[in-house]
């Protein structure tokens, strides 16, 4: 009889072709690019596999896909994935075009390969492998696939509430996970929240010759001064009350943090990072301190700046407008609404009431309870699939709409996936390794097998 | 007999066609666009008019044109002009394409129409009108036409030194001038200097996911903090020693400043300026104070900012690099080399030694002596041509390579030209009014006539 591992291996050629087709279809929510075609592609993929697929209206946002496979067990495992991807810019830094997937040296390069199209196809491959071995999936399997994760899932929470009966489940596997520089798979029990703000300043209707500088307000200067008032060179956020709901790691979190390895030298070399923040001023790096900051520090990050002329050579222009994109990552009981209000009040108190602040895609932080036996099941199956002890992060440093899923569906959630330390999610040359892709699929197949079996056993024992 | 004014009027249709052809030829030095074709166009224009034209090597920079018309008088008037223009971006803000000149409502719209292609054609039209009336120009006329004014004329000073015998003259008319909001023509006796710097910060080789914020240095933050250290929200430049060679207006300068009118309400309305710098905090505006700041304050201006993602929607990216373009306008005895050194030392003292600072096109400030009779001749002929008292600015707020011309050729220099308060030099929809174009040409024709006559009379009186 075919083993599950062999069945997964047999599914790989087809899964790679599916992944190429899926990544070859642009689906940039921020640019409203290719959404309808992508929904159709995903719908077809799962329908052909015998699933029930419904395309759900999502409060005016990009549709949500509800995919469901029946299984002999009454327990249900829910997968959360998203079909949208980050914008591919800067295009000139891609070795090959972002939406023309190509395999080089055992890696598949394309926008979305890591975040998170690879994971969805991985999970589909796991379902196919289980059907190959058992003729069916061993439990009920649902997918919740949304299309606005990369723009902050603005209408998602309302839709989870609206469709909560459809998506009822006993546990949830979140979209992503990766191997770190030590090649150990990482599992995550939570996500930071996010408050993504666009700052815009305009002081006149037209660009002026820069000789006008002594007599007009320069929006670029106003923006720079306002930004500098948000966070100081010591890294401390200066917005009054910013940290008051941030909390911090519990003793249990700290115990996990102590066990998180990090090949710092390789990490720095790979990304060409000159110096880590925790090394500034000649400090000696403490890895647990760095990991603690990474997972439990709220942040204030300039993601983009734009004003005036930034082309080659000189242009002596005084720009009429300047803008910045700033994301705040939230922890503990911080909320995006609270951060927005505090930023606004802070700017107003300094006389920057002319600076417009627009909120784009707020999300709450969320941490699952690590006591739930599902956490251990994911850990054990990962260990078996990867042949290594997985590393459990009490939370990830990234964000996503885990809060509504965890709170409304009341399920334990663990995030795991098929990326690796060099995947470059959100960056040019995003990629996954095909070896990880196969291992990830095997992990998901094992998890589904055990999840169903555990259920069967329970019922028999019941 | 045809009067000079009539002769100028007769030249207008041809001059407008020439100006359209000249503005239709892109010549963006910053983008190395269309330089050779533009040189050929100018060479042909003047050669066809009977001038001697030499295209001079300019230390590896874009060539300089030497144009010369013989005249009966031994006195020589030199015109300084430039054939290069500012970059046309942002293209989407032009009503019609920047390099497709078009006349609407008596105005000719095109990049370069005001700065300074209109002036050159104006001066050519004056020469043609004089030939039409007298059969020849009444004095020797030279043009020095360079091609890197908009990028700070990096090799120009060396070339003026090298070709100083060719360009010997008794007086010089500089490139530009305009009518202010009160419709009076402005004359300028000097220019500010400039130190245009490009700041670049890179902290790693690739863009990262913004969740990495707690553990890496964000170049956009380093740039913002460094910029905020250069100038405070009160407008004061914070670089140690920045003001020490700035001097200030003399009593004579202040007397001129008192006579400079400014229709502030119209100026604000036209550019959609919300508030003037001198009105901040509810201050009552003093026009002479504003004019004094405009002409005699050294500046530090952000002309451009760029980092990360600035497109639509969100991208949670931590950029690998951030950059800014900053221009400093210099007055008194300030030098661009001195400012560059002080900026570098200031950044280093604050730990920003990783911020690269590159100097692009430095220029010294220059003021001509207002005692010279040539100043009065330009003023009197302007009064006659325009039918209004001109306004003499002891210096302009803009910059250009007046310092080498004034110092090496030892000529008095006055700047005058055919723009107006709404010309929008360096901005989208740059334009000149055809009425001003004709008056400007008549002013130049009158000036050449008197300049030659004065010389003839002097010789007779000899």
What are the residue ranges spanned by the domains of chain A? Answer: 4-191+365-461, 193-246+298-362, 247-276+284-295
Burial of B245-258, coded b for 16+ CB within 10 Å and e otherwise, reads bbeebeeebeebbe
Is there a contact between A439 and A462 (Cβ–Cβ < 8 Å)?
Answer: no
Tell me, what's the pLDDT at A458? 55
Across the range A455-461, mean pLDDT stands at: 53
Over chain B (462 residues), what is each successive 10-residue block's mean pLDDT?
Answer: 93 98 97 97 98 97 97 94 94 96 98 98 98 95 96 91 97 96 92 96 95 97 98 97 95 90 89 96 94 97 97 90 98 96 98 96 90 93 96 93 95 97 91 98 97 64 48
Residue A455 pLDDT > 80: no
At residue B412, the pLDDT reads: 96
Cα separation, B120 vs A404, whole angstroms: 67
CATH number given to A193-246+298-362: 3.30.70.360
Alpha helices in A163-317 (DSSP H): 219-228, 251-258, 264-271, 287-296
Q: Which of B224, B280, B309 sits opposite A304 (nearest CB)?
A: B309
Chain A residues inside the 8 Å CB shell of B114 = none
Which chain A residues contact residue B303 at CB under 8 A? 210, 220, 308-309, 314-319
Spell out the residues 6+ positions from residue B32 whose beta carbon is closer than 8 angstroms to its own. Answer: none
Residue B270 neighbours by CB under 8 Å, 6+ apart: B181, B421, B422
Q: Is residue A396's pLDDT more than 90? A: yes
Mean pLDDT in residue range A435-445? 98
Smallest Cβ distance to B309: which of A87, A209, A211?
A87
Give the pLDDT confidence score for residue B462 in this predicted structure: 44
Query: Are the C-beta atoms of residues A156 and A58 closer than 8 Å to each other?
Result: yes
> Which bin fits B105, alpha (ψ -120 to 50), beta or left (φ > 0)?
left
In terms of CA atoms, which chain A residue is nearest residue B224? A224
Q: Residue with structure tokens 């002890």?
A: A389
| pLDDT, tens digit, 9 for 90 and up, residues A69-98 | 999 988 999 999 999 999 998 899 999 999
The β-bridge relationship of strands B76-82 and B140-146 is parallel
Q: Which residues of B touch A273 (CB under 8 A)?
A: 203-205, 216
Chain A CB contacts of B305 below 8 Å? 220, 223-224, 305-308, 310, 322
Buried b (16+ CB within 10 A) or exposed e, A212-227: bbbbbbbbbbbbbbbb
Residue A397: is it exposed, middle or buried by C-beta count within 10 angstroms (0-12/13-18/19+)?
A: buried
* Contact between A325 and B319 using a beta-carbon 8 Å cutoff: no
pLDDT > 70: what percent of chain A?
A: 98
What is the CB neighbour count within 10 angstroms for residue A135?
7
What per-residue confidence (pLDDT) applies to A278?
97
Q: Which of A89, A66, A60 has its CA nearest to residue A78?
A: A66
Distances from the Cα of B266 to the Cα of B179, B275, B289, B316, B358, angstroms: 13, 13, 18, 43, 38
For residue A413, what pLDDT band results from cuts at 50, 70 and 90?
very high
Q: pLDDT digits over A132-178, tens only? A: 999 999 999 999 999 999 888 889 999 999 999 999 999 999 999 99
B23 CA to chain A: closest CA distance, Å? 18
Residue A366 to residues A78, A81, A406, A412, B40: CA-CA distances in angstroms? 17, 17, 8, 11, 67
| A141 or A426, greater pLDDT | A141
- Tell me if domain A4-191+365-461 and domain A193-246+298-362 are identical in fold: no
Q: Taking the model in full, what pTM does it have?
A: 0.83
- The span from the CA of B394 to the CA of B382, in Å, is 16
Q: Do A301 and B223 touch (CB under 8 A)?
A: no
Give the confidence band of A462 by pLDDT, cuts at 50, 70, 90.
very low
Fold of A4-191+365-461: Aminopeptidase (3.40.630)
Q: Is A381's pLDDT higher than 50? A: yes
Whole-number percent of chain A with pLDDT over 90: 87
Domain B193-255+295-359, classified CATH 3.40.50.10900, yes or no: no
> What is the side-by-side order of every strand in the sheet holding B356-359?
A356-359, A193-202, A321-330, A301-308, B301-308, B321-330, B193-202, B356-359
Residue A453 near residue A380 (C-beta atoms within 8 A)? no
Residue A236 has pLDDT above 90, yes or no: yes
Residue B405 CB coordination number (10 Å): 24
CA atoms of A48 and A89, how far apart (whole Å)? 33
Mean pLDDT, rounded, of chain A: 95
Residue B111 in contact with partner chain A when CB distance is under 8 A:
no
Q: Is B321 an interface residue toward A (CB < 8 Å)?
A: no
Compute the distance between CA of residue B259 and CA of residue B391 in angstroms, rounded to an integer.
Answer: 8
The Cα A332–Cα A84 span in angstroms is: 27
Please report where in the chains the tokens 């043609």 appear, as a residue.
Answer: B128
């Amino acid at each position: 009889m075919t083993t599950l591992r062999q069945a997964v291996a047999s599914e790989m050629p087809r899964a790679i072709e599916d992944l190429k087709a899926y990544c070859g279809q642009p689906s940039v929510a921020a640019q409203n690019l290719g959404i309808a075609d992508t929904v159709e592609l995903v719908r077809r993929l799962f329908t052909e596999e015998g699933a029930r697929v419904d395309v759900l209206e999502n409060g005016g946002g990009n549709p949500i896909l509800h995919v469901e496979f029946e299984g002999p067990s009454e327990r249900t495992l829910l997968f959360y994935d998203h079909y949208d991807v980050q914008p591919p810019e800067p295009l000139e830094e891609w070795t090959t075009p972002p939406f023309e997937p190509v395999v080089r040296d055992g890696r598949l390069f394309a926008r979305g390969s890591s975040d998170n199209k690879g994971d969805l196809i991985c999970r589909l491959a796991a379902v196919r492998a289980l059907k190959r071995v058992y003729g069916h999936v061993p439990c009920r399997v649902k997918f919740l696939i949304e299309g606005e994760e990369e723009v902050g899932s603005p209408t998602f929470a309302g839709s989870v509430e609206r469709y909560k009966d459809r998506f009822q489940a006993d546990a949830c596997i979140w979209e992503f996970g990766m191997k770190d520089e030590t090649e150990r798979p990482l599992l995550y029990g939570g996500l930071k929240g996010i408050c993504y703000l666009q700052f815009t300043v305009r002081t006149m209707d037209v660009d002026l010759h820069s000789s006008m500088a002594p007599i007009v307000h320069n929006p670029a200067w106003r923006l720079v001064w306002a930004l500098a008032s948000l966070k100081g060179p010591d890294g401390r956020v200066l917005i009054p009350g910013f940290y008051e709901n941030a909390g911090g790691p519990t003793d249990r979190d700290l115990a996990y943090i102590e066990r998180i390895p990090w090949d710092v030298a390789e990490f720095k070399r790979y990304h060409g990072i000159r110096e880590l923040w925790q090394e500034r001023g000649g400090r000696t790096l403490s890895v647990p301190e760095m990991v603690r900051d990474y997972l439990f520090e709220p942040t204030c990050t300039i993601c983009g700046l734009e004003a005036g002329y930034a082309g080659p050579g000189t242009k002596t222009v005084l720009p009429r407008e300047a803008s910045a994109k700033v994301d705040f990552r939230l922890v503990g009981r911080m909320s995006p609404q609270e951060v927005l209000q505090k930023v606004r009040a802070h700017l107003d108190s300094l006389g920057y009431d002319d600076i417009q602040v627009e909120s784009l895609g707020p999300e709450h932080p969320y941490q699952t309870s690590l006591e739930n036996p599902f956490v251990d099941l994911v850990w054990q199956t990962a260990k078996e699939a990867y042949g290594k002890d997985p590393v459990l992060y009490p939370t990830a440093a990234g964000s996503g709409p885990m809060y509504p899923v965890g709170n409304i569906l009341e399920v334990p959630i663990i995030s795991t996936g098929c990326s690796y330390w060099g995947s470059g999610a959100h960056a040019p040359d995003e990629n996954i390794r095909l070896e990880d892709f196969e291992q990830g699929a095997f992990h998901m197949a094992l998890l589904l097998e055990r999840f169903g079996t555990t259920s069967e056993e329970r019922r028999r024992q019941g």
